[in-house]
Amino acid sequence: MALHKFTRKELDTILSNVVGKTLGEADVNNVFARTITHPKITGIAGDVVERSILGYPPDQDKYPDLIVDGIEIELKTTGIRKPKQKGDLIFEAKEPMTITAVSPHSITEEEFETSSFWHKLEHMLLVYYHYDSPETVPAAEYANFLIKGYHFHEFSNEDKEILMNDWLIVRDFIQSLKDGYENPQDEYSRISSDLKKKLMLIDTAPKWPNRPRFRLKRTTVSTIVQKHFGAKFEKLDETYSTFRELDDELHQLTKQYKNKTVRELMNILGIPIKLNAKCDVYKSVTEQIIVKMFGGEAKKLSKIELFSKIGIIPKTIVQTSKGSRTEDMKLFQIDFEEWTNPRTIFEESFVYSYFNGQQFLCIIFEEPTTGSKLLDNKFIGFKRMVIDENVLENDIKNVWQEIRDLVNNNKLKEEPVLDKNNHQRITPKTKIPMTAPNFPKAKEWNFFVRGSGTDASKKPLLLNGIHMYSQYLWMKGDVAVSMLKDIDFI
pLDDT digits (tens, 9 = 90+) for 147-189: 999 999 999 999 999 999 999 999 999 999 999 999 999 999 8
Is residue 371 left, alpha or beta, with left meaning phi > 0 and alpha meaning psi from -120 to 50? left
Would you place residue 353 in the very low, low, confident or very high pLDDT band (cuts 50, 70, 90)? Answer: confident
Q: Mean pLDDT of all residues in the chain?
A: 90
Quick check: 225 pLDDT over 70?
yes
Q: How far apart (Å, rounded) are the C-alpha atoms in residues 239 and 182?
A: 39
Residue range 182-196, pLDDT digits in tens = 999 999 989 988 998
Residue 471 has, within 13 A of its CA and on its CB side, a CA count of: 21
Would you place residue 282 in the very low, low, confident or very high pLDDT band (cuts 50, 70, 90)? Answer: low
CB neighbours of residue 390 within 10 Å: 9
pLDDT at position 76, please? 96
For the chain, give the percent of residues with pLDDT over 90: 64
- Residue 150 to residues 11, 97, 141: CA-CA distances in angstroms? 10, 15, 21
Please indicate whether residue 83 or residue 87 has the higher confidence score (pLDDT): 83
CB neighbours of residue 384 within 10 Å: 18
**Mean pLDDT across 222-249:** 95
User: Which one of 3.40.600.10, 3.90.930.12, 3.30.750.210, 3.30.200.20 gives the CATH number of domain 4-228?
Assistant: 3.40.600.10
Would you place residue 431 in the very low, low, confident or very high pLDDT band (cuts 50, 70, 90)? Answer: confident
**Mean pLDDT across 127-152:** 93
Residue range 408-423, pLDDT digits in tens = 999 999 888 887 777 8
CB-based contact 260:368 (threshold 8 Å): no
pLDDT at position 434, please? 80
Q: Rounded to two decimals, what is the model's pTM?
A: 0.88
What residue spans define the domains of the chain?
4-228
**Pairing between strand 312-319 and 359-366?**
parallel
Burial class from Cβ neighbours inside 10 Å (0-12, 13-18, 19+) for residue 19 reads middle
Would you place residue 85 in the very low, low, confident or very high pLDDT band (cuts 50, 70, 90)? Answer: low
pLDDT at position 192, please? 87
Question: Angle between the 262-269 and 285-293 helix axes, to the nearest 10 degrees?
Answer: 50
Residue 133 has, within 13 A of its CA and on its CB side, a CA count of: 16
Quick check: 264 pLDDT over 70?
yes
Q: How far apart (Å, rounded) are the C-alpha atoms in residues 53 and 402?
A: 44
pLDDT at position 62, please? 65
Extended strands (E) in 154-198 = none
pLDDT at position 327, please? 80
Q: How far apart (Å, rounded) are the C-alpha atoms in residues 252 and 257?
A: 9
Phi, psi of 260 (to 5 degrees): -85, 145
CB neighbours of residue 29 within 10 Å: 14
Residue 277 has, within 13 A of its CA and on its CB side, a CA count of: 0
**Mean pLDDT across 113-134:** 95
Handedness of CA 24, 30, 35, 40 (dihedral sign): negative
Residue range 453-477, pLDDT digits in tens = 776 667 888 899 998 888 999 999 8
Q: How many Å is the Cα radius of gyration of the chain?
A: 25
Quick check: 403 pLDDT over 90?
yes
**Mean pLDDT across 244-265:** 96
Q: How far apart (Å, rounded) are the C-alpha atoms in residues 304 and 16?
A: 31
